[in-house]
Amino acid sequence: MRASLIAILIVLAPAPLAAKDKPPRPAAARDHTAWAFEHSDVPVDPDFRFGRLANGMRYVVRHNSTPAGTGIVRMDVNAGSLDESQQEQGFAHFVEHMAFNGSTRVPEGQMIPLLEREGLAFGADTNASTGFDRTLYKLDLPRSDPALLDTALMLMRETASNLTISQAAISRERGVVLAEMRDRNSWALRNAIATTQFFYPGARYAERFPIGTTETLNAANAETLRAFYEREYVPAHVTLVVVGDFDVAAVEAGIVRHFGDWAAKPADPQPDAGPIKPKDRDRAAVYLDPALAERITVQRNGKYQDEPDSLAQRREGLLRSIGYDIVNRRLQRLSRGAEPPFRGAGFGTGDVFEAARSTRLIIDTVDGKWRAGLDAAGREYRRALTYGFEPGEVAEQVIQVRAALTNGAASAGTRSNAVLTQLALKLIDDELVPATPKSGLARFEAYAAQITPDAVLAAMKREALALDKPLIRFQGRQAPEGGAAALRETWRGAMHAKIARETKAAAAQFAYTDFGAPGTVVSDTRTPGLAIREVRFANGVMLNLKKTDLETDRVRVTLGIDGGDMLGTRANPLASEMVPYLDEGGLALHSRDDLDSILAGRTVGFGLSRGEASFDSRVATTPRDLELQLQLLTALMTAPGYRPEGEVQYRQQINNYFAQFRATPGSALQADLGGILSNNDPRFSLQKVEDYRQLTYARLQKDIGDRLAHGAIEVGVVGDIDEDRTIALVAATLGALPARESAFRAYGDQPPRLFTSDRSARVIRHTGPADQALLRITWPTRDDADPVEALALEMLERVMRVELTDQLREALGKAYSPSASSSLSHEWKGYGVFAVNASVDVSEVTATRAAIRQVVGELRAAPVSEDILRRARQPLVEGLLNALKNNGGWMALVDHAQTQPDQIVRFEKAKERVLALTPEDVQAMAKRYLAPDAGLEVLVLPEGVPVPKG
């Protein structure tokens, strides 16, 4: 029910790490202020309104009422780190930060509070992102009233041209930007940079990661930042997107009112991301980091193919993607064997902006097994290009595409604001014409018969670059025997080995369609108010239903089975550990991989996760596939396959986890915190790696088999359903099983979960960068039994976040994303924690601790102001008001409607209770729970760094 209203993140990792990602394609070569549909035969969806002001600024507006009464505003600035000179590195991102630090109409420090008072929650850096080629500003409006829209447009205009960028504000914000740089300096980012520099040496893009350099950020001043801002923030670089429950004409009038007087200015074309040389080949490199799992990337670069969106290009793209998908399907099948040659592998081609295209084969292997993996994947690549594809493989992909397009067309009328906003941004960023899902499906059906194995192979070959004498990069923990030369030698071997044609067995039929005589309904009622239908079958299975019209053609299903982490004991703490890998073992009659072929084109989910006291499945399907979905979940419970390949997957993951969890402060804390807080109670502590390696399906079966066979079951179904048909489908599947326990167990025999009485400060170590420290203070609180106190603690959490952001981030400039959290256990009597986290520089630990203590002390000493309370409260209130405008919100009440009816009552009373909370109530929570000597401090420091005094 917590609404995260503004979306996130600065794009730092470049696309080349994924096999098929297409980095966004700026239109430097073309006229980038033209709309792609103006020169395309793809028919644009007429429900979008497109416009261009006289000054050159463009906009996209669309009325949409899912969720009702809300809206989304985005400002896309076609300027990013590629636009920076050598001296300006990091300026695009720095300017993005300055958007929140003062403008003509909004003084420094006022924008975030202003938005919070309107109900827009603000985390650290959460409403803008900066990438290589663009900067995006984001406001998600909890209400679509004209006044709030006007405020949003006003703020966007301030950002577009009216930022103050004062020297004093820059000096204050610099610490935050440097803190962000320090926080983001991880093994993953360093590897991403090294990867880019190896594959694209000398390219501008490889030298322009958006975060910039310490030197350039320290040198930034009002004059130089302003120069970047004034040069790049010009009307022709800017597109505004507004989607929501608005009157389109009124939105257009508002855009004209706010942006019409922005003076036109010349717009520099974005510099090329290259140069990238097509002839660059036959190089190999080894990159080592103890945190890195072993991976080999085989790549060739080639000329950029300029392919504007058109109907013919879409057909070509469809053929290509089917080709890559078949290769990837073959690689996936290999990775799922009982003795797989690699953990995973992928093949694809992507654009590097407009500078080049790259074809790559990526192979993830178990440490030390790179040779077998590279050889096997190389052979698969050659097999595909030599012999092409089988009709059955193409058919499997065509079925998938058809299902996706059919589902898309069926639900087109209830697409969310977020989905439609993404379509608008794809038009702007990638020059993809937004067409209606219905027209896309019709075009596909008209063309489907021409999708033959030969056509697919030919199209793939027109794009994919031959991987002969390629660039090969190894990354991992230990150097490959024989070094770079051995990599090239192994690849050469794979390219000359004898290969055979692919043979693919026809997919079997799904075997689990009959579970015996359907169960009978023994009780069928409806809750007052929210009208959730509650059904109980004779075998004890509980079913909760809610039909909504919020998402046409979509059905959400949850399944809860008694068990979960409560099965873990001090003697056997890992009883449920392998449950998330249950599905990897397939079913008794179908392997996990066979299921992918059998279920091709069906919209179903598969698998269980571990909850505190239940095993859970949360899946999305359609009315057409609801029956199959229920059969599949029933089969997973009654006939899990426990095949050895699933154990292999689990062990690979565990080994990798243990090899890297010390590598960042965050993952080191996560690993150790459970043990520290519980006084090393094995049920809540990380165990020795051997204990995990020794886990098997045989043990899992012994530990959870009884729960799967007898444990209580509660099913939730929400969405576009026929209630009676749904009841009949559940009756024929879960309802047909032998009798179950009638209630979820209380697990009263489990020893209680205790918070350690040892409150001495602890220091743990990470192996990451020498300047990164993480300070965490945890206080014990209580369980969630008291609804009013639970809300009061949630308010304390939100007030704390506002205060920490104001103090640590804005006033001291020390931390990039200080956080606060309150978590109250539903299952463990008396147990709950409140915590504060701050990532800081090692040299600032003492000052940060003092600042946190001061914030906590003030919250205990006196009530906060009404304004602080409102800033913390309004996003929570708006979240409650909007909670039942999507099926996810409904499901939060439906999934446990019969076993936790109090959750529904709590929801119904929540708004009233939140509004009744006073600053004194929040202070009372701080006084009760956040006493200085009650908190337990854990400090995460780099290896070898002395513990700071104080």
Of 173 and 647, CB closest to Zn ion? 173
> Cβ of residue 291: shortest distance to Zn ion, in angstroms?
24
25-43 residues labelled b (16+ CB within 10 A) or e (exposed): bbbbeeebbebbbeebebe
Name the H helices within 354-466.
370-387, 391-410, 417-430, 437-447, 453-463
Say if residues 767 and 942 touch (Cβ distance below 8 Å): yes
Q: Which residue is nearest to Zn ion (CB)?
A: 125
CA distances from 137 to 75, 96, 233, 476 (A): 5, 8, 13, 37
In the chain, count H helices and then E strands.
28, 23
- Tokens representing 487 are 């990599």
Using only C-alpha atoms, the chain has a radius of gyration, in whole angstroms, of 29
- Tokens representing 808 are 């640590």
> Cβ of residue 91: shortest distance to Zn ion, in angstroms?
12
The stretch among 174-182, 195-203, 260-268, 413-421 that binds Zn ion (CB under 5 A) is 174-182
Query: DSSP states of 171-227 as a string?
Result: HHHHHHHHHHHHHH--HHHHHHHHHHHHHSTT-GGGG--TT--HHHHHH--HHHHHH
Q: For residue 706, give every residue at least 6 positions away whose Cβ sits within 8 Å of its Cβ, in sequence order, or none.
A: none
Burial class (CB in 10 A: 0-12, 13-18, 19+), 738: exposed
Of 10 and 384, CB closest to Zn ion? 10
> Cβ of residue 210: shortest distance to Zn ion, in angstroms?
9
The stretch among 63-71, 176-184, 798-806, 903-911 that binds Zn ion (CB under 5 A) is 176-184
The stretch among 178-186, 204-212, 772-780, 880-888 that binds Zn ion (CB under 5 A) is 178-186
> Cβ of residue 129: shortest distance to Zn ion, in angstroms?
8
> Cβ of residue 173: shortest distance to Zn ion, in angstroms?
10
Residue showing tokens 């009676």: 724
> Cβ of residue 90: shortest distance to Zn ion, in angstroms?
10
Q: How far apart are CA 507 and CA 102, in angstroms?
A: 62
> Cβ of residue 230: shortest distance to Zn ion, in angstroms?
21
> Cβ of residue 813: shortest distance to Zn ion, in angstroms?
13
> Cβ of residue 130: shortest distance to Zn ion, in angstroms?
7
Q: How far apart are CA 492 and CA 488, in angstroms?
A: 6
> Cβ of residue 457: shortest distance to Zn ion, in angstroms?
45
Neighbours of 884 (CB within 10 A): 19
Of 125 and 463, CB closest to Zn ion? 125
3-class SS shares of the chain: helix, strand, coil, % to 5 = 45, 15, 40
Of 109 and 392, CB closest to Zn ion? 109
Of all helices (H) and strands (E), which one includes residue 244?
A: strand 238-244
Of 214 and 865, CB closest to Zn ion? 214
- Cα 846 from chain centroid? 34
Residue showing tokens 């029956």: 627
The stretch among 179-187, 256-264, 330-338, 579-587 that binds Zn ion (CB under 5 A) is 179-187
Burial class (CB in 10 A: 0-12, 13-18, 19+), 758: exposed
Say if residues 530 and 547 touch (Cβ distance below 8 Å): no
Of 125 and 584, CB closest to Zn ion? 125
Q: How far apart are CA 820 and CA 836, in angstroms?
A: 4
Of 174 and 382, CB closest to Zn ion? 174
- Tokens representing 807 are 């103090």
> Cβ of residue 95: shortest distance to Zn ion, in angstroms?
11
Of 125 and 878, CB closest to Zn ion? 125
Of 125 and 562, CB closest to Zn ion? 125
Short-list 792, 822, 819, 823, CA closest to 805: 819
Q: Is the link from the previous residue into 942 a cis peptide, with omega within 30 of 0?
A: no
- Tokens representing 195 are 């990867």
The stretch among 100-108, 173-181, 209-217, 373-381 that binds Zn ion (CB under 5 A) is 173-181
Of 28 and 181, CB closest to Zn ion? 181
Of 83 and 180, CB closest to Zn ion? 180
Neighbours of 800 (CB within 10 A): 27
The stretch among 177-185, 497-505, 589-597, 923-931 that binds Zn ion (CB under 5 A) is 177-185
Say if residues 411 and 552 touch (Cβ distance below 8 Å): yes
Neighbours of 85 (CB within 10 A): 13
> Cβ of residue 898: shortest distance to Zn ion, in angstroms?
45
Of 8 and 34, CB closest to Zn ion? 8
Of 134 and 295, CB closest to Zn ion? 134
> Cβ of residue 311: shortest distance to Zn ion, in angstroms?
40
Residues in 430-489 at the binding interface with Zn ion, rule: CB under 5 A? none
Of 590 and 809, CB closest to Zn ion? 809
Of 211 and 574, CB closest to Zn ion? 211
Residue showing tokens 């595909």: 384
Site size toward Zn ion (CB under 5 A) is 2
> Cβ of residue 114: shortest distance to Zn ion, in angstroms?
20
Binding mask 114-143 for Zn ion (x = CB under 5 A): -----------x------------------
Binding mask 400-419 for Zn ion (x = CB under 5 A): --------------------
> Cβ of residue 100: shortest distance to Zn ion, in angstroms?
10
861-882 residues labelled b (16+ CB within 10 A) or e (exposed): eebbeeebbebbbbbbbbbbbb
> Cβ of residue 93: shortest distance to Zn ion, in angstroms?
6
Residue 272 in contact with Zn ion, rule: CB under 5 A:
no
Neighbours of 666 (CB within 10 A): 19
Of 180 and 806, CB closest to Zn ion? 180
The stretch among 155-163, 180-188, 322-330, 372-380 that binds Zn ion (CB under 5 A) is 180-188
Binding residues (CB under 5 A) for Zn ion: these are 125, 180
